[in-house]
Amino acid sequence: MNPIHPISKECRDRGILIHTDAAQAFGKVSCRLEDMGDPDMVSLVGHKVGAPKGIAALYVRPKCYQENGRGLPHNHGILLLGGGQEHGRRGGTENTPYIVGMAVAGALAVQTLTENAEKMESLRGRLLDKLRSELKDANIQVRPNGPKDLSQRLPNTLSVGLENIHSGDLLAEISDKVAASAGATCHSAAGVSAVLKAMKVPDNFARGTLRLSVGPKTTPAEVDRAARLIARAAIDQAQMDTI
């Protein structure tokens, strides 16, 4: 058996539990426990890999609640009173078809993980390049958010800030054409999210942050069209601001 990750070991020695939210990582990068740093708990979401919406999974390391003098949560962690399903923590008959659907979707995602990750990473890079190209003449700078080491980013997701653009207004203009999110940016003009602040993203880019995703079935033509629509809306907004 391989030794656990040093950070996880120190946390366990100090009586600290580690939970990893792997909802976005599922099907994009390895979710093997050793590859994620040996966390105590992991959350996975089914629809991220093609399973029906409404099914998820929570891994809990055996006996982690009893270590370091720790006791079980109040009422033994019961979330929904009822029968003895889910080890007595959530009463109610399990949704077997959805559980099986998530298991099959997860298995298929693992089989094609490397191939899909390489394809999505290429499309993500194409999307960033196209946005920069479309906005270059308008002097609207494009700033990707995240680690400088591209291998540390999810291969399918692009978090990008458009200089002096308000993402909420932009999304309102293109929402019927492009599925995108304002991501971790502000939801009003009142401020910027704590996440982007912690990442030291400048305000003039943070307010224009978009979260864009590609998938295994996304085509280069779809990426190019999305970049044109986003750029056109950003340019329209910039021109309106100068009037």
CA-to-CA separations, 3 to 8, 34, 174, 200, in angstroms, rounded: 10, 9, 49, 34
Residue 212 predicted with pLDDT over 60: yes
Residue 187 predicted with pLDDT over 60: no
Residue 209 predicted with pLDDT over 50: yes
Residue 191 pLDDT level (bands cut at 50, 70, 90): low
The beta strands (E) that lie in 105-145 are given as 142-144
Which pTM does this prediction carry? 0.83
Higher-confidence position of 153 and 70: 153
Q: What is the pLDDT of residue 92?
A: 84
Residue 128 predicted with pLDDT over 80: yes
Point out the residues that are catalytic. Answer: 186
- Which backbone phi and psi does 69 adopt, to 5 degrees? 75, 10
Higher-confidence position of 190 and 139: 139
- Specify the 3-state DSSP secondary structure of 56: strand
Rounded average pLDDT over 118-136: 97
Q: What is the pLDDT of residue 74?
A: 59
Q: What is the pLDDT of residue 186?
A: 43
Q: What is the pLDDT of residue 194?
A: 85
Residue 140 pLDDT level (bands cut at 50, 70, 90): very high
Separation of alpha carbons 74 and 52, rounded Å: 32
Lowest model confidence (mean pLDDT) among 6-10, 130-134, 195-199: 195-199
Q: Which residues of 199-237 are buried (b: 16+ CB within 10 A; e: fewer)?
A: eebeeebbbbbbbbbbebebeeeebeebbebbbebbbeb
Residue 61 predicted with pLDDT over 50: yes
% of the chain residues with pLDDT over 70: 92
Q: Which domains does the chain have, with CATH numbers?
A: 6-111 (3.40.640.10), 114-242 (3.90.1150.10)
Q: Per-residue pLDDT tens for 20-55?
A: 999 999 999 999 999 999 999 999 999 999 999 999
Rounded average pLDDT over 180-191: 60
Q: What is the pLDDT of residue 101?
A: 97
